[in-house]
């Protein structure tokens, strides 16, 4: 199968989490009364219930969570997902190949996949300046030589160079590596996949959208956003939270893969937090930013930072964290936060209070 079936909606609206968030917003307004901080940034928060089971649930609340906003490098996770899903689709296809010669397998992938990929994202067929090489994957750049299997057919893995590009795109958030990754995948594969998976609605232009290379290597293709007008890197927080929930739940992605789609992406986001460009809510991660404070450990993250057309710089992030005493895991996504220390401190405080309110901690 080229595209996966639509992913399940894992987020369940929860009155307790909604009350915890509302109370935290009020507490933040009192704690930061003179800073000029506005508390209207879109956000999503979810508690992971029964994480050790095969089907954990997620108690969810959001604020302005269905609005599309430019979120810069946070959208690199869309290319990460597209890369690992293409690896899975190529592996499924190659199981029936009679020859594992690179030229044969790559030509067969092109013949079997490319027209369906073009059709999955029809907008790119008529966008000015978008050529066919910008739409479809470049298989020889993405994959190493196919390897024969004892049971027949072939296995597919990223080439050494492409694996390094995907890692560089996520962990240090390198724009050149992101450009390499996105150019190799093609706009139609990335956004066709997001649409087929249920993470972007082509009828409403809502969801996770990535049609820019971060270097200008391909012309950008834009959708409307609230904070920046037409944007090539935009999302809603609820769709980004849904993506993180899929990574936590794991089985939806990994049950189709011997390689571990969800686990491989979790590993990259873990490294982004531990050795890469860390969460804005990590205490000391940015000079003058106090962070979420003791009692919580941020384990995985992908941040975004970028300038708006109207001026000013906004930050965003998608984060997994845990409460040290209880081990309870949480998903936090926010965007369109002015990149100022007082705003980061207020957001960190508000997220901390939301989680503590939910846990019943004074």
Q: What is the 3-state secondary structure (H, E, C) of the chain?
A: CCCCCCCCCCEEECHHHHHHHHHHHHHHHHHCCCCCCCCCCCEEEEEEECCCCCCCEEEEEEECCCCCEECHHHHHHHHHHHHHHHHHHHHHHHCCCCCCCHHHHHHHHHHHHHHHHHHHCHHHHCCCCCCHHHCCCCHHHHECCCEECCCCCEECCECHHHHHHHHHHHCCCCHHHHHHHHHHHCHHHHHHHHHHCCCEECCCCEECEECCCCCCCCCCCCECCCCCCCECEEECHHHHHHHHHHHHHCHHHHCCCCCCHHHHHHHHHHHHHHCCCCCCCCCCCCCCCCCCCCCEEEEEEEEEEEECCCCCEEEEEEEEEEECCCCCEEEEEEEEEECCHHHHHHHHHHHHHHHHHHHCCC
Give yes or no: residues 106 and 196 share one domain. yes
Structural domain contains residue 247: no
Angle at 221 between CA 236 and CA 225, to 5 degrees: 30
Do 201 and 158 sit in the same domain of this protein?
A: yes
pLDDT at residue number 32: 87
Residue 18 structural domain: 11-67+270-359
Task: Scan for tokens 């307790």, then name that residue.
Answer: 16
pLDDT at 1: 78
On whether both 58 and 83 belong to a single domain, the answer is no
- With respect to residue 229, please indicate whether it lies within any of the assigned structural domains: no
Q: Are residues 191 and 291 in the same domain?
A: no
180 & 278 share domain: no
Per-residue pLDDT in tens (0 to 9) along the chain, 362 residues = 799 999 999 999 999 999 999 999 999 999 988 655 667 899 999 999 987 777 899 999 999 999 999 999 999 999 999 999 999 999 999 999 999 999 999 999 999 999 999 999 999 999 999 999 999 999 999 999 999 999 999 999 999 999 999 999 999 999 999 999 999 999 999 999 999 999 999 999 999 999 999 999 999 999 999 999 999 999 999 999 999 999 999 999 987 766 789 999 999 999 999 999 999 999 988 889 999 999 999 999 999 999 999 899 999 999 999 999 999 999 999 999 999 999 999 999 999 999 999 999 99
- Is residue 211 situated within a structural domain? no
- Please indicate, yes or no, whether residues 61 and 135 belong to a single structural domain of this protein: no
143 forms bridges with which residues in the sheet? 158
Regarding whether 320 and 290 lie in a shared domain, the answer is: yes
Is residue 82 within 8 Å of residue 135, measured between CB atoms? no
Which pLDDT belongs to residue 34? 67
Contact 208, 202 (CB under 8 A): no
Inside any domain, residue 167: yes
Spatial neighbors of 115 by CB under 8 A, at least 6 apart, are none
The 10 Å Cβ neighbour count of residue 120 is 19
Residue 123 in any domain: the answer is yes
Calculate helix-pair angle for 175-185, 187-196, nearest 10 degrees: 80
Residue 1 covered by a domain: no
Q: What's the pLDDT at 255?
A: 78
Q: Which of 297, 334, 336 is nearest to 318 (CA)?
A: 334
> Can you say how many angstroms the Cα of residue 171 is from the centroid of all Cα atoms in its chain?
13
d(CA 200, CA 206): 6
- Do 74 and 190 contact (CB within 8 A), yes or no? no
Say if 130 falls within a structural domain.
Answer: yes
Overall domain count for the chain = 2
Residue 315's nearest CA partner among 349, 353, 277 is: 277
Q: Of 161, 178, 205, which one is at a domain's C-terminal end?
A: 205
293 shares a domain with 332: yes
- Taking alpha carbons only, the member of 147, 41, 31 closest to residue 97 is 147
Q: Are 187 and 216 a contacting pair, CB within 8 Å?
A: no
Does 190 share its domain with 85? yes
Which pLDDT score is estimated for 257? 65
- Tokens representing residue 142 in the block: 């993405």
* Judgement on whether residues 123 and 20 belong to the same structural domain of the protein: no
- Let me know whether 348 and 284 are in one domain: yes
178 and 288 fall within a common domain: no
Domain membership of residue 161 (yes or no) is yes
Q: How many Å apart are CA 362 and CA 355, to the nearest integer?
A: 11
Q: Identify the pLDDT of residue 3.
A: 94
Last residue of a domain, one of 152, 170, 205: 205
Boundary (domain end) residue, out of 159, 190, 205: 205
């Amino acid at each position: 199968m080229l595209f996966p079936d639509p992913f399940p909606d894992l987020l369940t609206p929860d009155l307790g989490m909604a009350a915890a968030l509302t109370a935290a917003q009020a507490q933040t307004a009192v704690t930061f009364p003179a800073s000029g901080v506005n508390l209207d940034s879109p956000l999503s928060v979810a508690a992971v219930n029964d994480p050790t089971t095969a089907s954990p649930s997620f108690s969810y609340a959001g604020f302005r969570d269905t609005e599309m906003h430019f979120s810069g490098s946070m959208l690199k996770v869309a290319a990460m997902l597209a890369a690992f899903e293409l690896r899975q689709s190529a592996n499924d296809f190659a199981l029936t190949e009679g020859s594992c010669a690179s030229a044969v397998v790559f030509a067969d992938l092109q013949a079997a996949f490319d027209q369906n990929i073009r059709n999955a994202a029809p907008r790119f067929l008529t966008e000015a300046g978008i050529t066919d090489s910008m739409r479809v994957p470049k298989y020889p750049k993405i994959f190493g030589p196919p390897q024969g299997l004892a049971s027949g057919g072939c296995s597919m893995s990223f080439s050494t160079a492409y694996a390094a590009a995907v890692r560089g795109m996520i962990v240090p958030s390198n724009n050149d590596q992101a450009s390499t990754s996105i150019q190799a995948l093609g706009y139609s594969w990335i956004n066709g996949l997001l649409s087929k998976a249920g993470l972007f609605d082509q009828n409403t232009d809502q969801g996770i959208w990535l049609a820019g290379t971060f270097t200008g290597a391909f012309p950008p293709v834009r959708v409307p956003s609230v904070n920046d007008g037409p944007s090539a890197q935009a999302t809603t927080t609820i769709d980004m939270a849904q993506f993180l929930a899929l990574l936590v739940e794991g089985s939806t992605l990994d049950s189709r893969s011997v390689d571990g789609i969800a686990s491989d992406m979790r590993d990259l986001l873990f490294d982004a937090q531990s050795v890469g460009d860390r969460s804005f809510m990590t205490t000391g991660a940015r000079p003058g930013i106090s962070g979420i404070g003791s009692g919580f450990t941020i384990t995985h993250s992908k941040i975004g930072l970028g300038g708006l057309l109207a001026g000013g710089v906004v930050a965003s992030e998608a984060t997994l964290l845990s409460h040290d005493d209880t081990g309870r895991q949480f998903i936090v996504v926010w965007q369109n936060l002015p990149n100022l220390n007082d705003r980061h401190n207020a957001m960190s405080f508000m997220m901390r209070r939301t989680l503590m309110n939910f846990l019943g901690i004074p």
